[in-house]
Amino acid sequence: MRALCIFSLTVALAAIAAGCSKSPDKVTKEAREAAASWGATLSAAAEWWGSAEVPTSYVETVVTQARTSLQKEEQTARTSAGAAAAAPVKAVASRAAAIAAAVKRGDRAAAIEAAHAARSKASR
């Protein structure tokens, strides 16, 4: 009976693991989508901050969340589908770092410029 339970558990875990793995094409598509979504979000947040529609703390939070999410997405894409799949995510992440630096300096124009570049990099 114990052997049957262990076998059943092993089969169940294998089925779960197989269901969780994604094809490289799907991972690549999801990475592009994440990059595009964060690029658009960063662009909007920087525009709003540049127009003084949102406080600095808001754009700082958005940038922090973007960088965290993009870092995870890049790692997943690189591991599952290679460097080419991770490239759009990495490009947007580098622009997020530039936005963070601009916000820290209080340079609204530079933040907007970097955010527009992030959006542009994501759409390539």
Structure confidence by residue, pLDDT tens digits, 75-109: 999 999 999 999 999 999 999 999 999 999 999 99
Q: What is the DSSP letter of 85?
A: H
Domain ranges of the chain: 23-122
Using alpha carbons, list the distances in angstroms from residue 47 to 33, 117, 121. 21, 13, 17
Dihedral (C-alpha) 116, 85, 124, 70: value to the nearest 10 degrees? -10
4 pLDDT exceeds 90?
no
Overall average pLDDT of the 5-14 stretch? 45
pTM, 2 dp: 0.80
Overall average pLDDT of the 18-36 stretch? 86
12 vs 92: which has the higher pLDDT: 92
Residue 55 in tokens = 């406080």
